[in-house]
């Protein structure tokens, strides 16, 4: 910025000179990009870091369980498959950041913008519906995961006190309610998801618990002195034949959830500087970040499976495969809780914004919905602004996610459903359709046929993963009564 300022300063003094040889000619708009926004400064490395921190998170926790359902051959193979599909569709998506021309076309700031400007209104509505459903589901999944982790801290301390004699059964409901109340309060904070340090805290936390999970797995394998697990996964006898099939499908959903990249890619591409064109930088960044996450996932999943074999818990850090060192588990679970409290808001805020905007456009004259009220909060200078509808709607939203979590507190099943719901439409179908439209791929040409085959194959994967996870919920509900499940 200093250089630009100096150059501008120089031009003011030499108003009469059109060209001043001592200063290289610089356009005056150097601190802005072609769309009038502040100059973007992101590089391959910042983009990779953003992607990795956005993606590595609670998906890690169910990977050991997923690999245990599939076994040593299919487990890693399925993971590689997902990483290749994700890599390919990310490449397609990076060409959709600008509509039309790759260097000077109109920018799309979000995934939804891209769908709207390339595919048009109807598909945009469907995409919106899926995306908001997905965000809602993530809010439910995070409520379950956070409450299980809070409970795990409590249980691990109880185990420690009783020297492992007391099984310490308890209900997850009080913890879900605590989490819900916290989120109700935070959801009233204006622009909570835009507080700059939230994402840094989230990144640090998710690396903390992922790394602890990995380390504990390695230590456990070393202590056992043997890699547990089999080539074909969990043995029939431990589970029935039909259960094995459902669980295999569900494992696909769990792995798909761990690879839910697509939604963040365009937003991240919007932080990257050009030249070179944003899509070039982004393709490099996706290669790096997918390589890093895949290696990390392979390690976490494989070590968890090697440590526990068929008994790999659905959530690596709360399944009580590990009892000691109990303080380390407590740190990991506390990190999960902190991460998810923030992440819940980041994923819910788009829903809040969408509903509140739609309502205020639909009923502009209704005082309850649009009238801003102001409160003075002691100790804070600016008054707190809100309106009745915002308070009520956000409370109801959080209450609803909490109630659903209490009805079906099964982390794996819910994660499987989410992975299945998001995988085909958001990671495959829309990127493929946008790419075909952008690049004007001929119908029935080789490339078109290959893209459609990829899309259909992924649709099949999504459908079986969804069915398997829903079957899992049904089976679990036979065992657990809603609102009364104890661990």
**Residues 90-112: b if buried by 16+ CB within 10 A, e if exposed:** bbbbbbbbbbeeeeeeebbeebb
C-alpha closest to that of 168 among 186, 153, 179, 146:
153
CA dist 356 → 401, 419, 443 (Å)? 18, 27, 41
Long-range contacts from 238-247, C-beta under 8 angstroms, 24+ separation: 238/310, 243/475, 244/69, 245/468, 246/468, 246/471, 246/472, 246/475, 247/69, 247/468, 247/472
H or E element, residue 401? helix 388-407
Among 405, 424, 406, 407, smallest CA distance to 467 is for 424
Identify the residue whose tokens are 């945009």: 124
- Cα gap 461→255, rounded to integer Å: 11
- For the chain, the domains span 39-478
Tell me the pLDDT tens digit for each residue of 88-118.
999 999 999 988 887 888 899 889 889 999 9
Token pair for 422:
């998001």
Q: Which range (48-57, 188-197, 283-292, 473-482) has the least confidence? A: 188-197
Q: What is the DSSP letter of 384?
A: E
List pLDDT tens digits, range 39-84: 888 889 988 888 888 788 788 889 999 999 999 999 999 999 999 9
Which tokens belong to 147? 């409450």
List pLDDT tens digits, range 351-399: 998 898 888 888 877 776 667 777 767 766 667 777 888 889 999 999 9
- Does residue 477 sit in helix, strand or coil? helix
**356, 405, 378: which is closest to 187 by C-alpha?**
356
Could you tell me the end-to-end alpha-carbon distance of the chain, in angstroms, rounded to an integer?
A: 57
SS3 labels along 83-128: HHHHHHHHHHHHCCCEECCCCCCEECCCHHHHHHHHHCHHHHHHHH
Candidate from 289-303, 322-336, 439-453 with smallest mean pLDDT: 322-336
Per-residue DSSP letter, 324: S
Q: pLDDT confidence of 193, banded at 50, 70, 90?
A: low
Q: Which residue's structure tokens are 């409290």?
A: 341
Torsion sign across C-alpha atoms 202, 208, 214, 217: negative
pLDDT surpasses 60 at 21: no
Residues in the chain: 487
pLDDT for 320: 67
**Non-local CB neighbours of 210 within 8 Å, separated by 6+ positions:** 56, 60, 296, 300
**Mean pLDDT along residues 215-234:** 89
Q: DSSP 3-state helix, strand, coil percentages of the chain (rounded to 5)?
A: 70, 5, 25
Q: How confident is the model at residue 263 (pLDDT cuts 50, 70, 90)?
A: confident
pLDDT of 303 over the 70 cut: yes
In percent, the amount of the chain with pLDDT more than 70 equals: 88
Question: Does domain 39-478 correspond to CATH entry 1.10.630.10?
Answer: no
Going by C-alpha positions, the residue among 149, 151, 307 that lies closest to residue 215 is: 307
Q: Is the peptide bond before 276 cis (omega within 30 degrees of 0)?
A: yes
CA separation for the pair 75, 163 (Å, rounded): 36
Mean pLDDT score, 461-480: 89
Torsion of CA 204, 205, 209, 214, to 10 degrees: -20
Residues 6+ apart with CB under 8 A from 425: 126, 127, 130, 462
- Where is average pLDDT lowest: 215-219, 259-263, 405-409, 415-419? 259-263
3-state secondary structure of 25: coil
Q: What percentage of residues in the chain have a pLDDT greater than 90?
A: 43
């Amino acid at each position: 910025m200093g250089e630009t300022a100096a150059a501008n300063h120089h031009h003011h003094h030499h108003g009469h000179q059109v060209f001043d040889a001592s200063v290289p000619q610089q356009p005056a708009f150097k601190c802005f990009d072609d769309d009038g926004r502040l100059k973007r400064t992101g590089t391959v490395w910042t983009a990779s870091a953003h992607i990795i921190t956005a993606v590595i998170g609670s998906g890690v926790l169910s990977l050991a369980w997923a690999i245990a359902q599939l076994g040593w051959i299919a487990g890693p193979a399925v993971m590689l498959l997902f990483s290749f599909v994700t890599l390919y569709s990310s490449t397609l998506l990076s060409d959709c950041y600008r509509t039309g021309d790759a260097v000077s076309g109109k920018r799309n700031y979000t995934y939804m913008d891209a769908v709207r400007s390339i595919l048009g209104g109807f598909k945009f509505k469907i995409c919106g519906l899926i995306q908001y459903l997905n965000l809602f589901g993530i809010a439910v999944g995070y409520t379950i995961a956070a409450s299980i982790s809070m409970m795990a801290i409590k249980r691990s301390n109880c185990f420690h006190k009783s020297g492992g004699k007391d099984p310490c059964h308890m209900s997850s409901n009080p913890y879900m309610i605590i989490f819900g109340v916290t989120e109700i309060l935070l959801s009233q904070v204006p622009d909570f998801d835009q507080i700059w340090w939230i994402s840094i805290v989230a990144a640090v936390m998710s690396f903390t618990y992922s790394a602890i999970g990995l380390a504990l797995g390695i230590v456990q394998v070393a202590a056992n002195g043997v890699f547990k697990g089999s080539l074909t996964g969990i043995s029939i006898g431990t589970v029935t034949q039909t259960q094995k099939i459902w669980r295999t499908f569900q494992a696909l959903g769990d792995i798909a959830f761990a690879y839910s990249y697509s939604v963040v890619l365009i937003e991240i591409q919007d932080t990257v500087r050009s030249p070179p064109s944003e899509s070039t930088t982004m393709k490099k960044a996706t290669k790096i970040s997918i390589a890093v996450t895949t290696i990390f996932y392979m390690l976490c999943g494989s070590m968890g499976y090697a440590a526990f074999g068929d008994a790999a818990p659905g959530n690596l850090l709360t399944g009580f495969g590990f009892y000691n060192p109990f303080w380390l588990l407590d740190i990991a679970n506390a990190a999960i809780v902190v991460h998810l409290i923030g992440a819940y808001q980041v994923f819910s805020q788009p829903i809040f914004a969408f509903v509140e905007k739609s309502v205020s456009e639909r009923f502009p004259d209704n005082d309850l919905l649009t009238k801003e009220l102001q409160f003075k909060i002691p100790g804070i200078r600016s008054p707190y602004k809100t309106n009745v509808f915002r308070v009520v709607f956000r409370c109801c939203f959080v209450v609803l996610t909490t109630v659903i979590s209490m009805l079906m507190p099964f982390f794996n099943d819910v994660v499987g459903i989410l992975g299945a719901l998001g995988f085909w439409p958001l990671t495959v179908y829309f990127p493929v359709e946008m790419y075909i439209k952008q690049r004007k791929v001929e119908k029935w040409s080789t490339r078109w046929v290959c893209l459609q085959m990829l899309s259909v194959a992924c649709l099949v994967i999504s459908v079986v993963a969804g069915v398997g996870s829903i079957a899992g919920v049904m089976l679990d509900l036979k065992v657990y009564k809603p609102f009364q499940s104890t661990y």
